[in-house]
Structure 1
Amino acid sequence: MTSNPTDLGGRVDALLPTLLEDLKDLVRIESVSADPERLGEVEKSAEKTLELFVAEGVDARIVRAFDGAPPAVIGEKKGPEGAPTVLLYAHHDVQPENDHADWETAPFEPTVRGDRLYGRGAADDKAGIAAHLGALRALGDDLPVTVRLFIEGEEEVASATLPQLLEQFQDDLRADVIVIADSGNWDIGVPALTTSLRGLIRVDVELRTLDHAVHSGMWGGLAPDAIMGLIRLLDTLWTADGGPAVAGLVGGPATDVDYPEERLTAESGILDGVQWVGEGSMVERMWTKPAITVTGFDAPKVAGASNTLSPVARARVTIRIAPGDTSANAVARLEEHLRAHVPWGAQLSTTVVDTGEPIALEASGPAYDAARAAFTEAWDGTAPIDMGVGGSIPFIAEFLEAFPAASVLVTGVEDPDTRAHGPNEGLHLAEFAKVVLAETLLLRNLGA
């Protein structure tokens, strides 16, 4: 198939119906990498991804770091001799769908309602796969660059074997430009390039005060219980305004963009009368300053609770780390803080669950010039915003370490109402069309 490079917009428009059907087929596969009972679905997802790219002339195969490891798809489609090499990244595994009752339609039956396609993975990140696929289809035999492909199968479970894959297949993945399609745009009709992301640490904190549970009537008021102690310890993690109180964490300025409070209110779901926490501009608090959250708490349930002093209590503390900090520093500073604030001589233990490094990309140079021009053209004259993301994509640090000379572009299909990881995840179809066109134009520009 040969496309007309001067009519790429028309070519993308023509291929969208078939591309969306391919995306729906991917969404129907329950590739939840966190669920051991659905690892067969993750394999099926890799096989379908392989099939789709092989049909577009990509010399592709399924690889894994070791026997039994999650499957990734890598491949290559050669461009002209001497042309730049571009690595296209996405992931085919998805988050658990959790309670189906929270979904308006079945999570693994892709459904178009209004201007969106709903389903688990419809945006994060099977639409990223579809965007890469669409760009290759639109360019056909006129591909102006050599494209290399890496579709991961374990991103939603922290990419545990990614470093091994990058080491084992470094020659197959090496590129001048890396396009990571796993982020989002600023708004409907306003594209973005993600230039910074926070890292994270997750640490389980355990506090013990007794060697066994005792009667609260007999011992309450004398012996401290573990829940009481843990609540008091956790409270020291925040200042009075809700900002982080752990000394030594790094923060910095953010991109100067306007984020109106009414938009923040609508997108966050914050209730009437509830105040924002922290200090600094809104985007600094979300993108370039640390944030501390308790994401889990182990203690007796209210239903059936007895009049007992608990001997042990546990909490999972998550810190989002600002660009410029490191996970090692954050772990050390958190542990120092906890040890200094343990109440009543209670016994403290901490366990690091996982970590991920923050990222600040150098958003300049020919690849970024090519991307900004492509995005502006695809969005009919609207230039992309350089934005930060408060969440984490820890594997980007692995790519930067493996390929330090490459330019890394973080793009994506999500918008403020995508609801990735939550019920009713949805892909805005008109924006998806622009994403496909933008990537097609980006490959054209890079080849030029």
Structure 2
Amino acid sequence: MRDVGDEGNPWDARNVEARARALTPDLVSELERLAAIPSIAFPGYPPDEVVRAHDHVARMLTEAGVRDVGAIRLPDTPPVITGTIPAPEGAPTVLLYAHYDVQPPGDESLWTSPPFTPTPFEEDGRKAVRARGIADDKSNVLAHIGAIRAWNGRPPVGVRIVFEGAEEWGSPLDDYPLAHPDEFRADAMAIADMGNVRAGQPTLTVALRGVTDVVVEVRTLEVAKHSGNFGGPAPDAMLALVRALASLHDDRGDVAVEGLRREPWTGASYTDEEFREAAGVEPGMPLIGTGTLGERLWSGPAITVTGIDAVPVDKAAGACVPYARAKINLRIHPEQPALEAEAALIRHLEAQRPFGIPLTVTVAGEAGDGHRAGTGGPATEAITAALRAAYGTEPVQMAAGGAIPLVNALHRAVPDAEMLLFGAQDGKCNLHAPDERVLVSELENTVVAEALFFAEFAARWGN
């Protein structure tokens, strides 16, 4: 890697790695302070805590050397933190994305330690810290800040900050870039809401599945009726719903909805053992579906019944059920338009007539398109070289089943920008689950990789 420093910047590509690694203790302390703030943007949670996290992150950015730290203020959502570092003459600009809001903790009794009391511990001899949101996505907020600090606030590329505060709940920012592309103009975008397939294996995410949700309802009787007097011929809504839901998969567990795209996956993936451990699959339970894990997780559809409304078991009477409904989550091939896939699912469900009973199907929320990143260009070459140097091993490419609709919007708004998806999470970080944690080594290596990427990208730009 060539020297890209100048007289005013003593931090060049030869010593930036050492400086970045030396920042680790301070970055971990800052991460613990940020993770102690329950910045949950969901309705019903204190909005002041999200504001407190916003203020904390804005302060860290200012102290790191980011200029004009400000905000995009959209209706009914926390501020999107913005800021810039001007590019040196002739250098490219990189947009850095992360989010400072977190998921709710869920059932706190399932946590080993309180979710908003960051708790250091060791996992297989590696230092780690446990807390809600510490991996998703506050570790990556600190990774961006650490990379800027490694260059003393004057990296060899321009920087544009976009840190949002309602990614987990759903932000109107997803539509904003298309109407305001100049606010997101960059030559590359480092989307740090990702991580490695496994700890120590540097990974670029090159595809994201899309997502949509629908609700299917069945109403058959005016009221519940005695199952002894009416059961049999009386149309039971629950029986009809269950039969309709069963039509979504074949006997092998593969999605049986016509019109949903699926193809082989050729990138990196989990082993079956890694997946079983990460997913918490009970011993003896089979994995559903056929084909490789990558095909089932990333380059094909997945349908999950995420909720059912019906009479609960402990309140069940001996009666035919008059009404039932279910919410269905569909994950979509990265290159299939979400609305196209949504329409295919609705057609399938509306075509079902269990026992001759019609179903009502409605869309629940907005569909989000997936994304397929390009795998060539100077930014991709630069991050690949930087990851290799930071981790000491060859990077791999994988996909992610979780959707980030903003990525597609950013790509459409600034189509020439290369999209780089990576970060400090890993396959066992328990994001959205109890005992979420981040490995200190993954945070450190992500900071080093991003700091080196700035130099690598500047060196390749225009060549």
Query: Taking structure 2 as the reference length, what is the TM-score of the superposition?
Result: 0.93
1:103: how far off? 0.7
* Structure 1 residue 310 corresponds to structure 2 residue 321: yes
Task: Report the 3-state secondary structure (helix = DSSP H, G, I; strand = E; otherwise coil) of the residue aligned with 2:351.
Answer: helix
Q: Does 1:281 align with 2:292?
A: yes
Does the 8 Å contact 1:64/1:70 carry over to 2?
A: no
Q: Give 2:399's match in structure 1, choosing from 385, 388, 407.
A: 388
1:5-84 alignment runs, 5 A limit: 5=12, 6-84=14-92
SS in 2 for 1:74: strand
Cα deviations across residues 175-200 of structure 1 (Å, max 9, x unaligned)?
00000000111212110000011111
Instruction: Give the gaps of 5 or more residues in structure 2.
Output: 1-7
Contact 2:28 2:440 in 1 (8 A): no
Deviations, residues 216-270 of structure 1 (Å, cap 9, x unaligned): 2221111111111100111111100011111111011212446433223322222
Distance 1:295 1:24 in 2: 32
- Contact 1:46 1:62 survives alignment (8 Å): no
1:421-446: CA deviation from partner (whole Å, max 9, x where unpaired): 00100001112110100000001111
1:113 partner SS: strand
Query: Structure 2 matches for 1:93-242, cutoff 5 A?
Result: 93-114=101-122, 115-164=127-176, 166-167=177-178, 170-242=181-253
Q: What's the offset of the Cα at 1:168? A: 6.2
Q: For residue 447 of structure 1, what is the aligned residue in structure 2?
A: 458
Task: Note if contact 1:198-1:322 (Cα within 8 Å) is conserved in structure 2.
Answer: yes
Identity across aligned pairs (percent)? 38
Distance 2:309 2:230 in 1: 22
SS in 1 for 2:420: strand
Paired with 1:342 and 1:64, the residues of 2 have a C-alpha distance of: 48
What do the CA deviations read for 1:62-103 (whole angstroms, capped 9, x no partner)? Answer: 424435432110010123123101100000010000111111
Answer yes or no: is the 8 Å Cα contact 1:299–1:313 preserved in 2: yes
- Please say if residues 309 and 326 of structure 2, whose CA atoms lie closer than 8 Å, have aligned partners that are also in contact: yes
Q: Aligned equivalents of 2:153 and 2:99: distance in 1?
A: 25
- Deviates further, 231-240 or 301-310: 301-310
Q: Does the CA-based 8 Å contact 1:250-1:289 persist in structure 2?
A: yes
**2:376 paired residue among 346, 353, 364:** 364
Amino acid at match of 1:186: V
State the alpha-carbon separation in 2 of the partners of residues 415 and 167 from structure 1. Answer: 31
- CA deviations on 1:135-176 (whole Å, 9 max, x unpaired) are 010001541011010001111012333322x25653232100
Equivalent in 337, 349, 373 of residue 385 of structure 2: 373
**Unpaired segments of 5 or more residues in structure 1?**
none
Contact 1:195 1:360 in 2 (8 A): yes
Change (3 A) 1:208 1:366: same
TM-score, length of structure 1 as denominator length: 0.96
**Separation in 1, partners of 2:275, 2:114:** 29
In the alignment, is the contact (CA less than 8 A) between 2:120 and 2:128 conserved in 1? yes
Shift of 1:4: 2.9
Q: Which amino acid aligns with 2:56?
A: K
- Determine if contact 1:199/1:320 at 8 Å carries over to the other structure: yes
Matches within 5 A, 1:241-320: 241-257=252-268, 259-320=270-331
Q: Higher mean Cα deviation, 60-69 or 405-414?
A: 60-69
The Cα of 1:323 is off from its aligned counterpart by 2.1
Aligned residues: 446
Match of 1:44, SS? helix
Structure 2 contact 184–414 (Cα < 8 Å) conserved = no
Contact kept, 8 Å, 1:29 with 1:45, in 2: the verdict is yes
Q: Is the 1:124–1:414 Cα contact (8 Å) retained in structure 2?
A: yes
Rounded Cα–Cα distance in structure 1 between residues aligned with 2:109 and 2:213 = 29
- The one-letter code matched in structure 2 to 1:223 is A
CA distance in 2: counterparts of 1:218 and 1:160, whole angstroms: 52
Given the alignment, which residue of 11, 15, 33 partners 1:4? 11
For the residue of structure 2 that corresponds to 1:155, the secondary structure is coil
1:365-390 Cα offsets, whole Å, 9 max, x none, are 1111101100000012x111011112
How far residue 22 of structure 1 moved from its aligned partner, in angstroms, is 1.2
CA deviation profile, 1:4-58 (whole Å, cap 9, x unmatched):
3211122112221111111111111111111333222111111111111011221
Change (3 A) 1:217 1:160: farther
Farther off after superposition, 434-443 or 182-191: 182-191
Counterpart contact for 1:35–1:96, Cα < 8 Å: no
Q: Deviation string for 1:334-370 (max 9, x for gaps)?
A: 1111122121332421221132112111111111110
In structure 1, what residue type is equivalent to 2:49?
A: E
